[in-house]
């Protein structure tokens, strides 16, 4: 007879939980530099795992061969895209920088003379200096964090190799990791854990895989639209529109402000329209495209699992930027949607309500007959006269 172990008291359980939590926070603090590469490796593995699962059966079930083929195709795709797009982006960014310099020089000439409004006189030069300082203070953290992320991914070969290797192991052992996480559920809560896991998986799957496809489609549409109407820097603005698609509810607004400023100060590259008229054309076209994106593209590509109120998304983006920089901005929407599901479940358990009210009831089936192989169906009617051939 095995000796019975004494159960831990509630005080001991709380103390052990607090020690584990403190140790986890200490490890996060000491190894904070590794968090962003690990998160990127998890995202990469999460996006590529369905492709590996589909390619594995044709390769005779070899998961390693499927992983090798997928990563080789990914490397070829990224190399080809960079080889085609990067030269165009560099050229247009240089032209944009030159035009901004000319625009600032014109603005400097405009504000050299003081502005007279009634009995008040304003110094245009002082206003321009204050506006420039405010813009620099506003944009400096964003550009600094963006440069840090790009340097960590592109400039450091070690981190890139680390991300790729970790993502490969995550894809290779994805089934084992999934079973291990399911086994951690307390007894009696396995079905709840699986339901929560599936709902959260739907959110992140729709966000990453659907968002990537949506970003490519939006980039192509905006680039084609810009080339047709003669928007300055059409390729760069198209790529920017695809990237801003990762910021729901605010990405369209940011793109529209930038495009309107380009149209207002630069005009069309070939349409014989005044700048203010061309700016109105850009405004009307993008408002129409925004409605098409929100009502057609997003529901069909991503679905409605990540749809959140705009104010919640904006607050989440600001919080994500304060906590994790650019990576926090990108992951704000699916994180909030996942917390919404967990919060709904916790609230239902606290008030003794059903956490999954839309869950269909499992029908009660009769027990199987253990002698089904011995019994044969009885013939209820005689065969027709012409059933047998003489």
- Residues in contact with 145: Cβ distance below 8 Å, sequence separation at least 6, in sequence order: 321, 325, 326
- Name the pLDDT band for 97 (thresholds 50, 70, 90): low
- Name the pLDDT band for 142 (thresholds 50, 70, 90): very low
Mean pLDDT of 194-223: 88
Structure tokens at 243: 């990237």
Q: Report if residue 174 sits inside a domain.
A: yes
Phi, psi of 197, rounded to the nearest 5 degrees: -60, -40
First to last CA, the chain: 75
Mean pLDDT of 202-208: 83
For residues 206 and 218, give the distance between their C-alpha atoms in angstroms, rounded to a whole number: 16
Q: Report if residue 50 sits inside a domain.
A: yes
Q: Report if residue 368 sits inside a domain.
A: no
CA 193 to mean position of chain CA atoms: 23
For residue 152, what pLDDT is reported? 47
For residue 284, what pLDDT is reported? 93
Task: Give, for 120, the enclosing helix (H) or strand (E).
Answer: strand 120-122
Mean pLDDT of 307-322: 79
Closest CA relative to residue 215, chosen from 234, 249, 240, 250: 240
Q: Report if residue 109 sits inside a domain.
A: no
Same domain, 351 and 275: yes
* Global model pTM greater than 0.75: no
Cβ of 279: how many Cβ atoms within 10 Å? Answer: 21
For residues 165 and 162, give the distance between their C-alpha atoms in angstroms, rounded to a whole number: 5
Please, what is the angle between helix 63-110 and helix 124-150, to 10°?
170
Q: Report if residue 15 sits inside a domain.
A: no
Same domain, 180 and 250: no
Mean pLDDT of 382-387: 52
Q: Is the dihedral of CA 141, 146, 152, 156 positive or negative?
A: negative
Same domain, 211 and 84: no
CB 37 within 8 A of CB 159: yes
Long-range contacts of 137-144 (CB under 8 A, 24+ apart): 142/326
Q: Report if residue 87 sits inside a domain.
A: yes
Highest averaged pLDDT of the listed ranges 164-173, 296-305, 359-368:
164-173
Average pLDDT of the residues of the chain: 78
For residues 274 and 278, give the distance between their C-alpha atoms in angstroms, rounded to a whole number: 6
Overall size of the chain counted in residues: 390
For residues 168 and 147, give the distance between their C-alpha atoms in angstroms, rounded to a whole number: 26
Q: Report if residue 128 sits inside a domain.
A: no
Same domain, 349 and 215: yes
Same domain, 237 and 96: no
Long-range contacts of 103-112 (CB under 8 A, 24+ apart): 103/265
Range of the domain at 328: 185-356
Residues 26-81: pLDDT tens digits?
A: 988 888 778 888 888 888 888 888 889 898 888 888 888 999 999 999 889 888 87
CB 280 within 8 A of CB 253: no
CB 38 within 8 A of CB 32: no
Three-state secondary structure call for residue 216: helix
Same domain, 303 and 216: yes
- How many domains in the chain? 2
DSSP 123: -
Same domain, 209 and 340: yes
In terms of pLDDT, which residue wins out, 365 or 193? 193
Same domain, 252 and 350: yes
Percent over 70 (pLDDT), the chain: 72
For residues 7 and 54, give the distance between their C-alpha atoms in angstroms, rounded to a whole number: 47
Same domain, 207 and 262: yes
Q: Is the pLDDT of residue 230 over 60?
A: yes
Q: Is the pLDDT of residue 311 over 70?
A: yes
Same domain, 307 and 216: yes
CB 322 within 8 A of CB 328: yes
CA 52 to mean position of chain CA atoms: 20
CB 335 within 8 A of CB 242: no
Same domain, 179 and 189: no
For residues 279 and 230, give the distance between their C-alpha atoms in angstroms, rounded to a whole number: 11
For residue 385, what pLDDT is reported? 52
- Residues in contact with 234: Cβ distance below 8 Å, sequence separation at least 6, in sequence order: 223, 225, 226, 227
Same domain, 167 and 266: no
Phi, psi of 232, rounded to the nearest 5 degrees: -60, 140
Q: Report if residue 26 sits inside a domain.
A: no
CA dihedral angle for residue 118, residue 264, residue 279, residue 289, rounded to 10 degrees: -120
């Amino acid at each position: 007879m095995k000796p019975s172990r004494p159960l831990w008291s509630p005080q001991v359980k709380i103390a052990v939980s607090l020690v584990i939590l403190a140790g986890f926070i200490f490890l996060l603090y000491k190894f904070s530099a590794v968090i962003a590469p690990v998160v990127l490796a998890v995202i990469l593995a999460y996006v590529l795992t369905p492709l590996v699962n589909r390619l594995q059966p044709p390769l005779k079930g070899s998961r390693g061969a499927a992983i090798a083929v997928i990563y080789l195709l990914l490397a070829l795709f990224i190399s080809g895209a960079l080889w085609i797009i990067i030269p165009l982006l560099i050229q247009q960014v240089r032209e944009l920088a030159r035009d901004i310099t000319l625009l600032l020089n014109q603005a400097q000439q405009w504000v050299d003379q003081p502005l007279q409004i009634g009995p008040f006189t304003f110094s245009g030069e002082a206003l321009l200096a204050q506006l420039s300082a405010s813009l620099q203070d506003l944009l400096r953290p964003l550009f600094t964090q963006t440069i840090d992320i790009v340097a960590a991914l592109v400039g450091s070969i070690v981190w890139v190799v680390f991300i790729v290797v970790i993502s490969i192991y995550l894809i290779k052992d994805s089934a084992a990791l999934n079973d291990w996480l399911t086994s951690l559920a307390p007894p009696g809560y396995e079905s709840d854990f699986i339901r929560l896991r599936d709902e959260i998986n739907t959110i992140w799957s729709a966000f990453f895989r659907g968002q990537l496809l949506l970003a490519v489609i939006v980039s192509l549409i905006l680039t084609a639209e810009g080339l047709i109407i003669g928007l300055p820097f059409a390729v760069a603005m198209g790529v920017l529109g695809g990237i801003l698609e990762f910021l729901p509810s605010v990405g369209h607004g940011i793109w529209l402000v930038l495009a309107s400023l380009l149209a207002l100060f630069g005009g069309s590259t070939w349409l014989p329209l005044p700048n203010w008229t061309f700016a109105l054309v850009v405004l009307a076209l993008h408002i129409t495209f925004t409605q098409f994106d929100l009502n057609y593209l997003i529901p069909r590509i991503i679905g409605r699992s990540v749809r959140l109120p705009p104010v919640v998304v904006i607050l989440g983006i600001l919080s994500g930027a304060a906590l994790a920089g650019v990576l926090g901005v990108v992951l704000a929407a699916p994180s909030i949607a996942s917390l919404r599901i967990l919060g709904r479940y916790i609230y239902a358990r606290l008030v003794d309500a059903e956490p999954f009210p839309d869950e269909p009831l499992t029908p009660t089936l009769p027990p199987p007959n253990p002698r089904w192989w011995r019994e044969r169906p009885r013939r209820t009617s005689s065969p027709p006269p012409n059933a047998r051939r003489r």
